[in-house]
Amino acid sequence: DSGVTQTPKHLITATGQRVTLRCSPRSGDLSVYWYQQSLDQGLQFLIQYYNGEERAKGNILERFSAQQFPDLHSELNLSSLELGDSALYFCASSVEGDPTGELFFGEGSRLTVL
Amino acid sequence: GDSVTQMEGPVTLSEEAFLTINCTYTATGYPSLFWYVQYPGEGLQLLLKATKADDKGSNKGFEATYRKETTSFHLEKGSVQVSDSAVYFCALSDQSGGSYIPTFGRGTSLIVHP
């Protein structure tokens, strides 16, 4: 158990809809990262938050947004969903400032868009 | 930008065979290097890491040496077990804008037969 909790584990929805994925980081970790894992693109970095502030942005679509709340949990919002958004979405947390950059991953939220 | 290239799978081996999964990287700075493992239905978890050139990371019988001259970090194990069947990801972490965002390879699936 990594200590990172993601909900829901599975989600099936239709094109055009909006979903929210939730992540609780390990106790004490201030940084949260979101990754998208798909068969054709591998593991793609989306966005990082540190203590409530956006710290780094990767290949995140404009239809997607995220935030980190004062209790440090994070939510990833995906809107106007398309078939191609079907993927496994991982949240990870880390000790910020650790130059080794080790991440602790949740079990992921599998999104299926029909 | 930073990138990681690892051999495509699946790699299929018999139990007790020798394993090598190749990984090469491109980075502008002096990154830390990692191997993560993803067992079926789970999130990624750190297998081993190396933070500077010539360092050897090791864990659970797996080893990888940070080779700066060849920009490589190949994963090896002398005798694989069925329980090693998983997807293995090579990754690097390089400081960018004050944060360390791991960049992952596409993953290599390992299947070990009894």
Instruction: Confirm or reject contact between A70 and chain B (CB < 8 A).
Output: no
- In Å, what is the CA distance from B79 to each residue of A33, B22, B33, B67, B90? 34, 17, 23, 23, 20
Distance CA(A44)–CA(A10), nearest Å, equals 19
Query: What region does B107 belong to: left with phi over 0, alpha with psi -120 to 50, or beta?
Result: left
Interchain pair A55, B105: CB under 8 A: no
Given an 8 Å threshold on Cβ–Cβ distance, is B44 in contact with A50? no
Residue B96 is predicted with a pLDDT of: 62
pLDDT for res A1: 81
Mutate: best of B3, B100, B103, partner A, most A CBs <10 A: B100
Percent of chain B residues topping a pLDDT of 70? 96
Q: Is A51 on the interface with B (CB under 8 A)?
A: no
- Chain B's closest residue to A57, CA to CA, is B101
Using one digit for the tens of pLDDT, what is the confidence trace for B38-66?
A: 998 889 999 999 999 999 999 999 999 99
pLDDT of residue A98: 64
CB of B97 within 8 Å of a chain A CB? The answer is yes
The pLDDT score that the predictor gives to residue B8 is 85
Distances (CA, A) of B64 to A6, A34, A48: 31, 27, 28
Residue A39: per-residue pLDDT: 79
Question: pLDDT by residue (tens digit) across B68-107?
Answer: 999 999 999 999 999 999 999 999 987 765 667 888 999 9
Q: Which of A31, A32, A33, A100 to mutate to test the interface with B (most CBs of B within 10 A)?
A: A100
Confidence of residue B29 (pLDDT cuts 50, 70, 90): confident
CA distances from A84 to A52, A63, A89 (A): 29, 13, 13
Q: Which residues pair with B91 in a beta bridge?
A: B34, B104
Average pLDDT (B8-14) is 93
Q: How far apart are CA B46 and CA B50, in angstroms?
A: 12
* Residue A108 touches partner B, C-beta closer than 8 Å: yes
**Using alpha carbons only, what angle is made at residue B77 by residues B31 and B64, rounded to the nearest 5 degrees?**
15
Tell me what the mean pLDDT of segment B20-27 comes to: 95
B73 Cβ under 8 Å from any chain A Cβ: no
d(CA B77, CA B20): 7
**With a cut of 70, which residues of chain A have pLDDT below it?**
96-101
